[in-house]
Amino acid sequence: MSKSNLTNNIRKLRFENGQITQQQLADKVGVTRQTIIATEAGKYAPSLPLAFKIARTFAVPIEQVFQYQDDDPQVSASDTNA
Amino acid sequence: MNKVQRETWIALLLVVPVWAIFGQLPVLLIYLEGPSFLHLFSFACATIIGGLSWLLLLFFNRKRKRKAKIEFDERDKLILNRSTLAGYVMLWIYFIAACIYVWLTASPDRSISVNVMPIVIVEGIAVFIFVQSVSSLIQYGRVGKNVEK
């Protein structure tokens, strides 16, 4: 699993939402604890459905959980203008 | 360690050596002592049991009471797909290398021993399982760093 430009706030959100454990979050979204560990560490980019499930668990928009840093400045600029 | 990792370690430490040794032993005996019913029967048994061992694993997994805990998810599936691909690629390279080796070491009358085929097939399966297992374990990596008790 290569490191991607995807960063996340899962750890922070877990502690802000009643200090739920990695296992509890894993059970809520229907994955193994190892997947939550790898996602939190930025070693695994989850699928879109899983990303939405995690965001809904914390009752926040997906952008608040995951952020994507694009290497190409042109793409980032066009995203900002759009 | 989840179910897939556990099974991968079993495959790497138990299935590959047992398969590589007991699958080859009858072939070696046939080569050294000539074919006999006992040798051929033990070869047939070793290959049937070795080849169908995954079905036994499947059977025991189904019989075991399922807990609510999730044991297989999208990441496991991705790792399994990639490691199977790695195993397949290595199997293909091994097969080509084995063919070249056989051609180069064929006897002067260009004939090869009938023992070559079972050795190539049985070892090919061992290579596939070995590469698939190692590839899976590399992809799972060390997760201990971010684990919470």
- Please give the ipTM for the structure prediction: 0.79
Q: Are residues A40 and B69, on separate chains, in Cβ contact within 8 Å?
A: no
- pTM of the predicted structure, to 2 decimals: 0.78
Domain count along chain A: 1
The answer, for A28 touching chain B at a CB cutoff of 8 Å, is no
CA dihedral A32, A34, A40, A46 (to 10 degrees): -60
B31 versus B126: the higher-pLDDT residue is: B126
Of A22-26, A32-36, B42-46, B72-76, the range with the lowest mean pLDDT is B42-46
Looking at residues B73-102, what average pLDDT do you find?
Answer: 94
Domain ranges of chain B: 3-142
Question: Is A27 a member of any domain?
Answer: yes
State yes or no: pLDDT of A79 exceeds 60: no
Q: How far is B93 from chain A (nearest CA, A)?
A: 24
A63: domain range? Answer: 6-81
CATH code of the domain covering residue A17: 1.10.260.40
A3-55 confidence digits (pLDDT tens): 568 899 999 999 999 889 999 999 999 999 999 999 999 989 999 999 999 99
For residue B42, CA distances in Å to A10, B14, B27, B37, B53 come to: 55, 19, 9, 8, 16
Of A42 and B25, more confident: A42
**Structural domain contains residue A1:** no
